[in-house]
Structure 1
Amino acid sequence: MIDKIKLALSLLLLALGIAGFYLFEDKAMVVRILAILAGIVASVAVAWTTAQGKEALGFVNESIAEAKRVVWPTRQETIQTTFAVMVLVIIMAIFLALVDVSFAYMVQLIMGRGA
């Protein structure tokens, strides 16, 4: 039950941060943005003390560990793949342009409007 109260408080703090943005309408934009950031930080701080927050933190840590295990392509592989994609896009553009021109010619021919 206490976790539900904390989550409700977290949502309330987030809503207060957003409301602060509109309440400080006559203040500088920096103050308005700081109101939102303060609401977000307070909301996250309270949410992390709940069981769901601890699970989310564990998930984030596992995701970071998984991202570190990813084998990223080398610069050479990236350049080669980019080049292959660009060539394929150019070929497809030419093909689709030819199909478009052919269909336009056929429609004009069928409609009897010249060609």
Structure 2
Amino acid sequence: MATSEVQTVNSSADKAKLAAAVLLLVAGFVGYYLLASQGSLVRVGVLLGGILAAIIAFAVSEPGRQLIAFARDSWRETKKVVWPARKEAIQMTAYVFAFVFVMALFLWLTDKTLEWVLFDLVLGWRK
């Protein structure tokens, strides 16, 4: 029997880093709105500074390092994918569109047939 394991933040240092990241993010947004009388360059600078500081605080925590490692592994796996040639991609797209059209036609015909059977023959609503 397989057990599902939920990963949590274990160390108090990581909890503090995550809390700091959230506080820095909130501080950036609050600063943006509190500095409404300042120029837009100052306000956007405070907002971006808060977001950047929050990203840095998150990146130095263990969950942040795990996320960065996951992103690197994902990028590495993406490079291994063999993408189809343009001709193959166009052919497959055409097959999908043709299949969708045929299925739509089939479902429309089925709907109209059932409508005719139920309303005209069984219930006699349309005369």
Q: Alignment partner for residue 68 of structure 1, among 79, 83, 93?
A: 79
Identity of aligned residues (%): 36
RMSD (Å), alpha carbons: 2.4
Q: How many residues are matched?
A: 115
In structure 2, the CA distance between the partners of 1:103 and 1:25, relative to structure 1 (3 Å rule), is: farther
**TM, length-normalised to structure 2:** 0.74
- Look up the match of 1:37: 48
Unaligned runs of 5+ in 1: none
What SS is found at the alignment partner of 1:99? helix
2:117 alignment partner AA: M
Deviations 1:86-112 (A, max 9, x none): 100111111111111111111222221
**1:100 equivalent in alignment to 2:111:** yes
In structure 2, the CA distance between the partners of 1:74 and 1:2, relative to structure 1 (3 Å rule), is: same
C-alpha distance in 2 between matches for 1:61 and 1:39: 25
**TM, length-normalised to structure 1:** 0.80
Q: Which has the higher helix share?
A: 1
